[in-house]
Amino acid sequence: MKKTVYFIAGDGIGPEVFKAGRPVIDAAVAKAYNGEHSLVWEELLAGEKAYKETGNYLPQETLDTLQSAELAFKGPLATPIAGGFRSLNVTLRQTLDLFACIRPIRYFEGIESPVKRPDLVDMIVFRENTEDVYAGIEYASGTDEAKRLLEFLRDELGANVDVSAGVGVKPITEKGSKRLVRKAIEHAVSQGKPNVTLVHKGNIMKYTEGAFRNWGYEVAADEFADSVVTEADAKGETSKVIIKDRIADAMFQEVLMRPQEYSVIATTNLNGDYISDALAAQVGGLGLAPGVNMNQTLAFFEPTHGTAPTIAGMDKANPGSIILSGAMMLEHIGLNDAASLIHAAMDKAISGKKVTIDLVNQMEGATAVGCTEFGEILASYL
Ligand code: NAI
């Protein structure tokens, strides 16, 4: 199998983490499959490089290629400060309708963590990426729009609301909820995960968060009846994926106290934003956090960090997040053996205690190496 991966190197530390990270991803594939499978990397322009070469931060050609692509990878993109330019990341997500933001969180032995048993955390968060209070329907207190909307709510719908309020709208659709939960269950089934938890605040927001929960159970019953069972029906041990739900506030307590009971999390946009950072903190921070944004056809992998402008060009950045995003991509296309090699290499590199400066600060007795050298160390452990 030869797979084309379109990539945007990105701004700031993007090009250097790519340069150090890409050979590790390729080497893992070569080692695992002896040339039977390979990746073909094709560069697309976006960000500062695109601006220099074309006068446009996000050329139409890049968007057109991504519209019909299956796999893509991006480094971080700076939001240009001048001219009130919109975030390129938000533009990409919206234009390509990348509705699922997926972040796996697991512990690497040796990294300092604020909890006693970070090793029990092995979860993957599926966060809805397009709806909820992120839809951008929000009006400032005292504006004509806010007043008109609030007066309508008060006068026409009988809502008990102060018309001087600032106001935001929280749309949650059946389509948006179901396609997100479908992805989460598909992942659990294909990767042999034990359970999927629908995280919501449906006890308070019945017709948005509660509806998300109900639509989630509906997808499970209608489309995955052979492979899943609800927690209520499971009655003890089962070989099927268990579908359960938890109210968001309780879930924050659960992931701290009983992380081993949770595997795949499917949740709405705002809950997902909070819980992915909270879980990352449980295992020692965002430094080694990979991610992907997906629509129905495209899986667009990216590290979760930004352009780190203060260390850009200094060979100090950690290429770990990009390399782990690469491992996610390999799992996505079924090259699980190559992905496992990367995970094992990362474990060994961290226990070897020669790591980039960001990790040195989180580990006892570690020494700092540069971005390039850390990539080489990882490759040597494959
Ligand atoms: P940032 O993630 O770039 O930096 C936060 C801190 O983490 C800094 O101290 C930085 O030096 C450090 N850091 C980040 N990645 C690192 C790595 N791989 N190795 C070692 N240290 C690392 O976040 P910040 O400063 O808020 O944003 C900087 C720029 O990046 C902004 O223009 C922002 O818009 C953009 N950004 C882009 C993202 C994306 O493309 N997905 C995500 C987040 C920010």
Query: CB–CB of 322/18 below 8 Å?
Result: yes
Query: CB–CB of 7/72 below 8 Å?
Result: yes
pLDDT at site 235: 83
Q: Mean pLDDT, to the nearest integer, of 191-218? A: 97
Tens of pLDDT along 61-113?
A: 999 999 999 999 999 999 766 555 668 887 898 899 999 999 999 999 889 89
Instruction: Give the pair of three-digit tokens for residue 256.
Output: 């701290």
Q: Mean pLDDT, to the nearest integer, of 196-223? A: 98
24 alpha carbon – ligand 1 mean position (Å)? 22
DSSP H/E element including 48: helix 48-54
Q: Which of 97-111, 210-224, 227-241 reaches the highest mean pLDDT?
A: 210-224
| C-beta 88 within 6 A of ligand 1 | no
User: Strand 228-230 and strand 2-8: pairing?
Assistant: unpaired
pLDDT at site 80: 65
Ligand 1 atom with the smallest distance to the CA of 311 is: 11
Q: Mean pLDDT, to the nearest integer, of 127-152? A: 94
Tens of pLDDT along 287-344?
A: 788 999 999 999 999 998 889 999 999 999 999 999 999 999 999 999 999 999 999 9
Q: Which of 88, 305, 363, 369 to mutate to test the pocket of ligand 1 (most atoms within 8 A of CB)?
A: 305
pLDDT at site 236: 75
Q: What is the four-CA torsion angle of 161, 214, 262, 253, rounded to 10 degrees?
A: 20
124 alpha carbon – ligand 1 mean position (Å)? 22
pLDDT at site 328: 95
Burial (0-12, 13-18, 19+ Cβ within 10 Å), 243: buried
CB atoms within 10 A of CB 335: 22
pLDDT at site 82: 52
Which residues is 106 bridged to in the sheet?
Answer: 122
pLDDT at site 83: 53
294 alpha carbon – ligand 1 mean position (Å)? 21
Residue 2 has pLDDT above 90, yes or no: yes
Ligand 1 atom with the smallest distance to the CA of 302 is: 41
Mean pLDDT of the chain: 94
Ligand 1 atom with the smallest distance to the CA of 371 is: 19
Nearest CA owner, ligand 1 atom 23:
306
Q: Mean pLDDT, to the nearest integer, of 203-215? A: 98
258 alpha carbon – ligand 1 mean position (Å)? 31
pLDDT at site 238: 80
Residue 175 has pLDDT above 90, yes or no: yes
Query: CB–CB of 240/225 below 8 Å?
Result: no
Q: Which residues contact 220 (CB under 8 A, 6 or more apart)?
A: 181, 185, 196, 228, 230, 243
Tens of pLDDT along 355-376?
A: 999 999 889 899 999 999 999 9
pLDDT at site 12: 96
Q: Mean pLDDT, to the nearest integer, of 125-142? A: 92
Catalytic residues: 134, 201, 249, 273
pLDDT-above-70 percentage for the chain: 97
